[in-house]
Structure 1
Amino acid sequence: MTNTYLTTDELSARIKYDVRTIRERLKDSVLLEGVHYVRPFGGRKILYIWERIEADLSAYSQESAVIPMARGGVCHG
């Protein structure tokens, strides 16, 4: 599988979040180093891995539509 590496500006355009929001709020809380982004050659530049971010985006949106029930079941609502 080939990965698509994006700069912060490119990621911002794809997910419709401001660059500053990605850097200050999402990086290291939601987007984790080694999972969602890498620093090639140990430098300061950050490259985001699009396929992993896209997978997590769809996983979170599917989970949010589920309401947990008392006995372990779920309500899709």
Structure 2
Amino acid sequence: MNGVTYLTTDELSARIRYTPATIRNQLKDNVLIEGKHYIRPFGGRKILFLWEPIEVDMKLGSTDSVAMPVAIE
């Protein structure tokens, strides 16, 4: 085994608490990148998500500071 955890959309949904539809329609290709966060085994339509890179990027996102615009009167 190569140390990568492969997850279906439903399994990923249970781990990150997003619905499968949200993963497919909003996260895939906007946040989750093919080849980094998910693969299509054997060139097919089925998608398998790679847990470890997703987990790393989720943690990075939570430590980034986001600047909030301040209204000056």
Name the TM-score, length of structure 2 as normaliser: 0.86
- Aligned identity (percent) is 64
By relative contact order (CA 8 Å, sep 6+), the higher-ranking structure is: 2
Where does residue 34 of structure 2 map in the other structure? 33
**1:5, CA displacement in angstroms?**
0.3
Q: How many matched pairs?
A: 66
- Matched residues in 2 for 1:41 and 1:18: separation? 26
4+ aligned runs moved over 4 Å, structure 1: none
Where does residue 24 of structure 2 map in the other structure? 23
Structure richer in strand, relative to its length: 1
Give 5+ residue unaligned stretches, structure 1: 68-77
RMSD: 1.2
